[in-house]
Amino acid sequence: MTPPDTHAPFAPSGLARVVACPGSYNLIRAARAAGVALDEDDTDASREGTAAHEVAVRLARDGECMPIGALTSNGVAVTEEMIEGAEMWAEQVSKYPGGQFETLVKCPAIHHDCWGTPDYQFGPNMGTLYIPDYKFGHRYVSPVMNWQLIAYASGVMPEYYPTMRVVLQIVQPRSYHRDGPVREWVIDGDELREHITTLRIAIIRAVE
């Protein structure tokens, strides 16, 4: 098994593609092994997203507002949009005080090589688990059937609680949609278990 401090073979962020096309897993792995650059690897948008996440975490977790023009860890300059997005993120997670930022979560119910770091997690508390996720891109991301967040929830709540309330949220300040920048999908433990089964089956097909 690969150590958990490296990129997971079945990272939660890539599970939507595995569910949609299990065969894509081996194709992408072969392409990367051959040194082929993929569109999703180290693009300007991905670097901007990484920088925006850093700004958001520093504000929400540490109370530090990075100034416009300052460089983040990956060398991207902080923008006014990043600060505005960070303020929205900080306001949202402040509703669930005492949660954990970017803590490694293993998802063995899906696969022993599935793990990741949720942006934030809170609970289960009083029967509810919250998994909010920060997205800085413009492309609309729905919390409904969001395989990344489902995977995180499975790892945070490894035991089966059929009546558990699971709240999956997307906080996306730059996606201008009628549903607003903060969107959520609420399911229970039974529904979560069904979706975990779907993910597990998709991965089995991917490695066949």
Single pTM value for the model: 0.91
Residue 3 pLDDT greater than 50, yes or no: no
Using DSSP bridges, classify how beta strands 105-106 and 115-116 pair: parallel, antiparallel or unpaired: antiparallel
Neighbours of 31 (CB within 10 A): 12
What is the distance, to the nearest Å, from the Cα of residue 118 to the centroid of all Cα atoms in its chain? 5
Residue in the block written with tokens 């700004």: 55
How many DSSP H helices and E strands does the chain contain?
A: 6, 7
Is residue 116 within 8 Å of residue 151, measured between CB atoms? Answer: yes
Q: 120-130 pLDDT, tens per residue?
A: 999 887 889 99
Q: What is the pLDDT of residue 171?
A: 98
Q: 39-95 pLDDT, tens per residue?
A: 555 688 999 999 999 999 999 999 999 999 999 999 999 999 999 999 999 999 999
Q: What is the pLDDT of residue 180?
A: 94
Q: How far apart are CA 33 and CA 5, in angstroms?
A: 20
Q: 158-182 pLDDT, tens per residue?
A: 788 888 999 999 999 999 889 999 9
Where does 108-207 show beta strands of DSSP type E?
115-116, 120-125, 128-134, 165-171, 182-188
Phi, psi of 168 (to 5 degrees): -100, 125
In one letter, which amino acid is 5? Answer: D
Residue 2 pLDDT greater than 50, yes or no: no
Q: What is the pLDDT of residue 64?
A: 96
Q: 9-41 pLDDT, tens per residue?
A: 999 999 999 999 998 888 877 776 776 655 555
